[in-house]
């Protein structure tokens, strides 16, 4: 079994909300593989974030951000389970950070499931055309890889968070979720840029 770093244990703890020893055990059992460690915890029924995932998120806030130039503005609906958490400073700060991130990166959708089928098919057609001389089985693997990269670039929850590019926006939200002990979600957003579509 491989040595597990304290940084990896902390990362798993932030994502799941579980104790340090439980996270260390999961990483040790899976030879330090982060995704396998999460699966290990879920199989044991210990992943606190997974337990919260089914809970309804009917409370929340509308976060907003206006760029200093006054030419870009964002509104985003971020939901949680209780009004108590929604009124807290940590939750409001997270909503503002998400709005600021949207202003900076102009995502297409919240997550991969929110991208329209038309857009996905158009992207796939472009990727297939780029590798049309490859064998079909290799072509499809390349297309899937490029589509995954597309999601990472264009879907809010998959994008590297602008304030800490070592984590995605989704991972940043899961950290706050673990800290505050409630399920959270980004429902929708709108981004305005002065003069667009003129």
As given in the structure block, the two tokens for residue 131 are 């590798």
Tens digit of each residue's pLDDT (9 = 90 or more) over 133-191: 888 888 888 988 999 999 999 999 999 999 999 899 998 998 898 888 888 999 999 99
pTM: 0.70
Into how many domains does the chain fold?
3
* Residue 169 sits in the same domain as residue 185: yes
Residue 123 sits in which domain range?
116-154
- Which residues is 190 bridged to in the sheet? 75
Please report, rounded to a whole number, the percentage of residues in the chain having pLDDT higher than 90.
Answer: 50
* Residue 163 sits in the same domain as residue 187: yes
Query: According to the model, what pLDDT value does residue 134 have?
Result: 83
Cβ–Cβ < 8 Å for 119, 127? no
Chain centre distance of CA 128: 27
As given in the structure block, the two tokens for residue 102 are 């949207």
Question: Which CATH number is 20's domain given?
Answer: 1.10.8.10
Tens digit of each residue's pLDDT (9 = 90 or more) over 40-67: 877 765 555 555 555 677 899 999 999 9
Determine whether 186 is exposed, middle or buried from the number of CB atoms within 10 Å of its CB (0-12, 13-18, 19+). Answer: buried
């Amino acid at each position: 079994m491989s040595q597990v770093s304290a940084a990896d244990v902390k990362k798993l703890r932030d994502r799941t909300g579980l104790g340090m020893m439980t996270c260390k055990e999961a990483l040790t059992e899976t030879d330090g593989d982060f995704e396998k460690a999460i699966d290990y915890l879920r199989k044991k029924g210990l992943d606190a974030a997974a337990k919260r995932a089914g809970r309804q998120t009917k409370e929340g806030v509308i976060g907003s951000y206006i760029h200093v130039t006054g030419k870009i503005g964002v509104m985003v609906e971020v939901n949680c389970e209780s009004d108590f958490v929604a009124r807290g400073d940590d939750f409001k700060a997270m909503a503002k950070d998400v709005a600021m991130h949207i202003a900076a990166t102009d995502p297409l959708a919240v997550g991969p499931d929110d991208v329209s089928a038309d857009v996905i098919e158009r992207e796939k057609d472009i990727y297939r055309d780029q590798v049309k001389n490859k064998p079909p089985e290799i072509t499809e693997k390349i297309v899937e890889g490029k589509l995954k990269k597309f999601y990472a670039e264009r879907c809010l929850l998959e994008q590297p968070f602008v304030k800490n590019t070592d984590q995605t926006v989704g991972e940043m939200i899961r950290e706050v979720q673990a800290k505050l002990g409630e399920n959270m979600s980004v429902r929708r957003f709108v981004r305005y840029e002065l003069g667009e579509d003129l």
